[in-house]
Amino acid sequence: MNRYLCCTLVQIFDHKRILLGLKKRGLGVGKWNGFGGKVKPGEEIKMAAVRELKEESGLDVETSDLTNVGKLVFEFVNNGLVIEVYVFRAQNYHGEIVETEEMKPQWFSIDEIPFNEMWVDDIDWYPFMFTQKLFFGFMKFNGENEMLYKELQVVENV
Ligand SMILES: CNc1ncnc2c1ncn2[C@@H]1O[C@H](COP(=O)(O)OP(=O)(O)OP(=O)(O)O)[C@@H](O)[C@H]1O
């Protein structure tokens, strides 16, 4: 059995801007990404999404303001890790954006998303998020930068 992790990812939007964070440590270090992390045992996925957003950006959202955008499953063939990521978006948020030990947040125009400094899968599924089509993706990685396989489809629910 492979090592399995269930994770969240929250994309914060403000009109034509998206808030991304530069990951300062751990998985995906050096990449811009939405905010998220591991779901704790027994924790509800949306509650984990709210908690991780707060921990990594300083922002608060209500679980009712999180919209499902899709689900991604990543298999890292180099170490056997399988990560399931529940992706959400939100445009209603409150609080002050803060830089933390884990993330450096910054607003980007949605026309200037730094895809070449992000996970290589992001450029494939962001268009589904922008057209509001719920998606499921399965990707295989060798390390953090080489995608060996990808499958993406529009789905009814995740
Ligand atoms: C392979 N392609 C990928 N594409 C886009 N996003 C990806 C991803 N692979 C992982 N992610 C995200 O990366 C974060 C890792 O979370 P990660 O820092 O490990 O979790 P957590 O904050 O609990 O860690 P600590 O143990 O506290 O350091 C988490 O949001 C997860 O959704």
115-152: pLDDT as tens digits: 999 999 999 999 999 999 999 999 999 999 999 999 99
Split at pLDDT 50, 70, 90, the class of 42 is: very high
Domains identified in the chain, total number: 1
142 within some domain:
no
Ligand 1: which residue has its CA nearest to atom 27?
Answer: 37
The mean per-residue pLDDT over the stretch 87-107 comes to 97
36 within some domain:
yes
The mean per-residue pLDDT over the stretch 15-22 comes to 97
Those residues whose C-beta lies under 8 Å from the C-beta of residue 45, and which sit 6 or more positions away, are 6, 8, 39, 86
* Distance, CA of 134 to CA of 123 (rounded, Å): 16
Range of the domain at 16: 8-69+87-134
Angle, vertex CA 130, rays to CA 82 and CA 156, nearest 5: 60
Question: For 65, what's the count of Cα atoms within 13 Å in the CB-facing half-sphere?
Answer: 15
52 within some domain:
yes
Mutate-to-test residue for ligand 1 from 9, 29, 115, 135, highest number of ligand atoms within 8 A of CB: 9
Q: Find the residues whose C-beta lies inside 6 A of ligand 1.
A: 7, 9, 26-28, 33, 36-38, 52, 74, 83, 85, 119, 121-122, 141
64 within some domain:
yes
**Residue 1, pLDDT score:** 59
**Residue 2, pLDDT score:** 79
139 within some domain:
no
- State the ipTM, two decimals: 0.95
21 within some domain:
yes
48 within some domain:
yes
**pTM of the entire structure?**
0.97
101 within some domain:
yes
Question: For 84, what's the count of Cα atoms within 13 Å in the CB-facing half-sphere?
Answer: 8
